[in-house]
């Protein structure tokens, strides 16, 4: 279990550092910024690369909602969920702290203007989306994300291609939902930046725990309905 937790911590660090780093350090770079599509691709690539790297060790959840959803799907043991979630939170918080340190070394950086890629609704949403559409979007996309993960890693699937499908799924989700909430679908990814930023991001953090986990449970149930449970 220590090896699995360490893998989850390392993998979640990579997800948050590179994904949020793409948004904070590269998306708005003058004339050469990577924009929404670049940030979406960065998040997808982090999952893809880590799925091949640590998938055989821990399953590469990198996300409390995925751990819960896979447990609901009967593909993961409930007793391991708290350990995974703690490891994921540690990785996300450490990555956010390192990212903040690097960003503050850039001349003119303003944490409250940049937001450190924090998630939010209302004033915290890039496009001003209110609570309900943000909640619904996060729940739906996380549900489908977990459903895809559970299905492409099922015994009757082509497991070798699973990381590609999962990475592309996360990229697609970001392409659609960055303007809505800055895209969470991952409570750990939301917690790290929110703790660094404080204020509104921290006040709204509950949405990016409740909605993804609710959606993940639904996705897990949908997968279980058409799959043979392993646990």
Ranges of each domain in the chain: 2-225
How confident is the model at residue 168, as a pLDDT? 97
27: left (phi over 0), alpha (psi -120 to 50) or beta: alpha
Q: At what angle do helices 2-21 and 81-104 cross, to 10 degrees?
A: 40
Residue 33 to residues 27, 28, 185: CA-CA distances in angstroms? 5, 5, 24
How confident is the model at residue 32, as a pLDDT? 59
Low-confidence ranges of the chain (pLDDT < 50): none
Question: DSSP code of 206?
Answer: T
How confident is the model at residue 112, as a pLDDT? 77
Q: State the alpha helices, DSSP H only, in 75-161.
A: 81-104, 111-114, 131-152
How confident is the model at residue 88, as a pLDDT? 98
For residue 37, how many C-alpha atoms fall within 13 Å in the half-sphere facing its CB? 1
How confident is the model at residue 179, as a pLDDT? 95
Cβ(177)–Cβ(137) under 8 Å? yes
Query: Which residues, at least 6 apart from 124, have a Cβ–Cβ distance to it below 8 Å?
Result: 115, 118, 200, 201, 204
* Tokens representing residue 9 in the block: 């911590």
The torsion angle over the Cα atoms of residues 111, 114, 115 and 118, rounded to 10 degrees, is -140
How confident is the model at residue 160, as a pLDDT? 82
How confident is the model at residue 31, as a pLDDT? 58
User: Which backbone phi and psi does 158 adopt, to 5 degrees?
Assistant: -85, 90
How confident is the model at residue 113, as a pLDDT? 76
How confident is the model at residue 193, as a pLDDT? 96
Encode pLDDT of 2-43 as tens digits: 999 999 999 999 999 999 999 898 876 655 567 888 999 999
Cβ(166)–Cβ(152) under 8 Å? yes
Rounded to whole angstroms, the Cα distance separating 67 from 21 reads 24
* Tokens representing residue 90 in the block: 């540690």
The CATH fold assigned to 2-225 is Glycerol uptake facilitator protein (1.20.1080)
């Amino acid at each position: 279990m220590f090896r699995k937790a360490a893998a989850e911590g390392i993998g979640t660090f990579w997800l948050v550092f590179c994904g949020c780093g793409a948004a904070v350090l590269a998306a708005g770079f003058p004339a050469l910024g990577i924009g929404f599509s670049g940030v979406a691709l960065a998040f997808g690539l982090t999952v893809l690369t880590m799925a091949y790297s640590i998938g055989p060790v821990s399953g590469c959840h990198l996300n409390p909602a995925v751990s819960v959803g896979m447990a609901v799907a009967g593909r993961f043991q409930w007793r391991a969920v708290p350990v995974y979630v703690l490891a994921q939170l540690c990785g996300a918080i450490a990555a956010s702290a390192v990212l903040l340190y690097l960003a503050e070394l850039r001349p003119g950086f303003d944490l409250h203007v940049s937001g450190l890629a924090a998630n939010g609704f209302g004033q915290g949403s890039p496009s001003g989306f209110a609570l309900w559409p943000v909640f619904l979007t996060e729940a739906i996309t996380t549900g489908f994300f977990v459903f895809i993960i559970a299905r492409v890693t099922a015994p009757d699937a082509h497991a070798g291609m699973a990381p590609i499908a999962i990475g592309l799924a996360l990229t697609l989700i970001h392409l659609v939902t960055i303007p809505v909430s800055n895209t969470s679908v991952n409570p750990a990814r939301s917690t790290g930046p929110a703790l660094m930023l404080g204020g509104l991001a921290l006040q709204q953090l509950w949405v990016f725990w409740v909605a993804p986990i609710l959606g993940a449970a639904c996705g897990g149930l949908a997968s279980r309905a058409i799959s043979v449970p392993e646990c």
